[in-house]
């Protein structure tokens, strides 16, 4: 059975006090209510990982993640953080290839494939983001765009490695815009991604990969999205900053 995941990407938000309050509130809810094969992931900025770890440590179904890492193990890369460092402070997940990293930091297929390798080599789980921009959706080339992102950064992995990756389909036009892909549009793309994996590897392997949806998920639309056959949870941005909204989204899974 595929893992269900709700992950909250805080992006560059929250000071120390806000981080502590939000994490405490989410921790209490997860401790009381999350069961089965569901995992909740809190993904704060790097500086809050160690302090939030103290709150989430030992809580079943609750894990920490990071928003990015460098592809090299270490060395003269001022300002960067390696996958090994993240693993050593308690991260289980690392986002790779968020559209904001692609857009503002020029991350391309090649560097993202190296980041995926670095995360796996440190025994963590990459949350690999893919998704088309509005112009692709409008001219109907969204499948080609997403296929290229997935193939170029993930398909060098072996059949045993690929189920250790979580994929997040995040149409760029839906991130932080308040526009959500309809449940039908999202399901269609998730099924397409799973088919790509089945064609490259096999159906059994494809059925093991958790594929999350991201893009303006809110308590009001989470239930319908998560009910789709190939949607295994969500990567949540804005709504993960409010504990009430985030915990309501968790309840929807």
Alpha helix (H) residue ranges in 70-166: 83-88, 99-105, 109-121, 134-139, 142-154
Pick from 112, 235, 249, 250: which binds ligand PEP (CB under 6 A)?
A: 235
Binding mask 172-191 for ligand PEP (x = CB under 6 A): ---xx---------------
* Residue 233 lies near ligand PEP (rule: CB under 6 A): no
166-169/125-130 β-pairing: parallel
Concerning whether 28 is annotated as a catalytic residue, the answer is no
Choice between 161 and 177, CB closer to ligand PEP:
177
Binding mask 205-224 for ligand PEP (x = CB under 6 A): ---------xxxx-------
Catalytic-role residue among 70, 107, 170, 190 = 170
Choice between 44 and 214, CB closer to ligand PEP:
214
Catalytic-role residue among 71, 98, 107, 132 = 98
Whole-number Cα distances in Å, 188 to 153, 169, 192, 244: 21, 11, 6, 30
CA distance 239 to 43: 13
Using the rule CB under 6 A, give the single segment among 14-22, 63-71, 187-195, 235-243 that binds ligand PEP. Answer: 235-243
Burial track 11-26 (b if 16+ CB lie within 10 A, e otherwise): beebeeeebbebbeeb
Concerning whether 98 is annotated as a catalytic residue, the answer is yes
Using the rule CB under 6 A, give the single segment among 119-127, 146-154, 170-178, 220-228 that binds ligand PEP. Answer: 170-178
Query: Which of 174, 164, 147 has the alpha carbon at shortest distance from 210?
Result: 164
Place of tokens 């290229």: 148
* Residue 236 lies near ligand PEP (rule: CB under 6 A): yes
Place of tokens 């405490």: 24
* Residue 68 lies near ligand PEP (rule: CB under 6 A): no
* Residue 44 lies near ligand PEP (rule: CB under 6 A): no
* Residue 131 lies near ligand PEP (rule: CB under 6 A): no
- In the DSSP assignment, the letter for residue 172 is G
CA distance 130 to 96: 9
For the annotated catalytic residues, the residue numbers are 98, 170
């Amino acid at each position: 059975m595929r893992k269900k995941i709700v992950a909250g990407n805080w992006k560059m938000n929250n000071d120390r006090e806000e981080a502590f309050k939000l994490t405490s509130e989410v921790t209490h809810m997860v401790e009381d209510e999350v069961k089965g094969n569901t995992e909740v992931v809190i993904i704060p900025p790097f500086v809050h990982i160690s302090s939030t770890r103290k709150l989430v440590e030992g809580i079943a179904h609750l894990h920490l993640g990071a928003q990015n890492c460098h592809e090299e193990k270490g060395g003269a890369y001022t300002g960067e953080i390696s996958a090994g460092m993240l693993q050593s402070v308690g991260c289980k997940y690392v986002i790779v290839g968020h559209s904001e990293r692609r857009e503002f930091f020029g991350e391309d297929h090649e560097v993202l494939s190296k980041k995926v390798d670095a995360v796996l080599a440190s025994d963590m789980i990459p949350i690999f983001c893919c998704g088309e921009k509005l112009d692709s959706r409008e001219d109907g080339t969204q499948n080609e765009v997403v296929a290229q992102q997935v193939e170029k950064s993930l398909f060098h992995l072996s059949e045993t490695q690929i189920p250790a990756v979580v994929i997040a389909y995040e149409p760029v036009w839906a991130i932080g815009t308040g526009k959500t892909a309809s449940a039908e549009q999202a399901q269609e793309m998730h099924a397409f991604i799973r088919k790509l994996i089945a064609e490259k590897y096999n159906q059994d392997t494809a059925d093991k990969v958790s594929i999350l949806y991201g893009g303006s998920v809110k308590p009001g639309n989470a239930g319908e999205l998560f009910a789709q056959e190939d949607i295994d949870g969500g990567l949540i941005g804005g709504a993960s900053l409010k504990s009430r909204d985030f915990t309501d989204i968790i309840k929807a899974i």
